[in-house]
Amino acid sequence: MLDIRWIRENPQALTRALEARGNAPEAARATVDELVAKDEARRSHLSQLQDAQARQNAASKEIGKAMAQKDAALAEKIKAEVAELKGFVQQGEARARELDKALNDALAVIPNVPLDDVPVGRDEHDNVEVRRVGEPKRTNAAKEHFEIGEALGLMDFERAAKLSGSRFTVLTGQLARLERALGQFMLDLHTGEHGYTEVQVPLLVRDEVLFGTNQLPKFEEDLFFVRHGDGRLGLIPTAEVPLTNLAREQIVAAEKLPLRLTALSPCFRSEAGSAGRDTRGMLRQHQFYKVELVSITDQESSVAEHERMTACAEEVLKRLELPFRTVVLCTGDMGFGARKTYDIEVWLPGQNAYREISSCSVCGDFQARRMDARYRVEGEKQTRFVHTLNGSGVAVGRALIAVMENYQNEDGSVTIPQALRPYMGGLDKIGA
């Protein structure tokens, strides 16, 4: 969530940011004007309310003075004024809550402001490649992962559909073990060499937790919910949600930052906006595993931490010897809560294309304001909002796809990358 004071002082900057994110100039200006108007109405009302409260307190003291002077008429007159003020204050406090809610609801659907070095563009075609690692394998004979998996008899979409419908997969035998090995390998790398602390997180969270990492209210249709008592809990779309919210409603000592957290968890997404996309195979699933990276930093360190986090995610693919490229997303393709995002795209020979396997974003204090997550520098009374970052380190299912396609052999088998063999009991190949 953006700071309304910053918006009030920089309306043109927000207007330009909304335009860069794809809003028409007229719509961007109207949105900013509406926010400023709601803020002015709230502040004007609060000023009147404070004046009334001050007069109520002063008048209450005047009653005692009038009584001491035995001026009953004046005392009664002031009592009547106090009663009138009390009614106004009570109604005014209710109105203040309404105005606060109206402003906060409007702010909750405003996206973050891109950093100055983010390229301006409309969609993925305007993203900018920043580096490329490894040599892509290009061959017309390359099969896609689902062709390989089904031929091995270890990947079953038909039985998964009978159990749960579309966008689910059943893995068995050594292919199931390979997916598990990938997750374990990533966790060991991030905790053993990159300084992240492993966390086991709840898979069901409250609405306010989903609001904190900006899944709600804007992306409610992308989530799954279950009943819980008289309310509901949401299945996490990514471990970013519980990991980042570990800092919610807390004040962390500055010297304890950065906090670097990682988790391997199932993720659940309805893929509401993906009808007809990637319907074959397990590239886009309702349920999948991902290793998440989250950093909580001070305000000065977040941009450098973003580069570091992206390098940690890239290292996974380097160790697996998978070709990839890293792109910086343009303003029109960037996520709602991000100020800057790097996507890491792994090469898939079966598709003859690069596909996203990790997305690393710096969010500034956008999420921290929604979570009320702060830090305090030693010797200072004032607190500051933390900066949050999140990234995939990496998506396990997509890593499985990439390994299968890049390490496929002509006989239908799949060679196990060297980095994974210790996790596979020394196995060097998966065959039929």
Query: What residues act catalytically?
Result: 269, 284, 356, 359, 398
**3-state SS, residue 322:** coil
Structure tokens at 85: 């003020």
Distance, CA of 359 to CA of 351 (rounded, Å): 20
Q: Do the beta carbons of residue 395 and residue 183 sit within 8 Å? A: no
For 111-144, the DSSP string reads PPPPPTTSPP-SSGGG-EEEEEES-----TTPPP
Place of tokens 């304001």: 369
For 224-273, the DSSP string reads -EEEETTEEEEEPSSTHHHHHHTTTT-EEEGGGPPEEEEEEEEEE---TT
| Radius of gyration from C-alpha coordinates of the chain | 27
Exposure string for 282-296, b = 16+ CB within 10 A, e = fewer: bbbbbbbbbbbbbbb
Place of tokens 């299945």: 235
Distances (CA, A) of 413 to 107, 150, 194, 272, 394: 53, 12, 33, 35, 24
Strands 374-376 and 387-395: unpaired
Distances (CA, A) of 136 to 63, 93, 122, 133, 140: 86, 64, 27, 9, 13
Distances (CA, A) of 17 to 21, 30, 63: 6, 13, 55
